[in-house]
Amino acid sequence: MRSIIHGIISSIRYHKRWKLQGLLQQVLDGMTQIYP
């Protein structure tokens, strides 16, 4: 779980703000699969 959060933080650092929303959407989709 920590590795996922670390990956998200790293991605945020390299992604522009307009890409952040799409990234969060992918994360939310992944979370719904991990925690139905």
* Mean pLDDT per 10-residue interval, the chain, length 36 residues: 81 68 84 71
Cα gap 25→22, rounded to integer Å: 5
Q: What is the pLDDT of residue 23?
A: 79
Structural domain count, the chain: 1
Q: What is the pLDDT of residue 22?
A: 83
Phi (first) and psi of residue 34, to 5 degrees: -75, -40
Q: What is the pLDDT of residue 36?
A: 59
**Domain membership of residue 18 as a residue range:** 2-34
Cα gap 24→18, rounded to integer Å: 11
pTM, entire model: 0.37
Residue with the two structure tokens 């920590």:
2
Cα gap 15→9, rounded to integer Å: 10
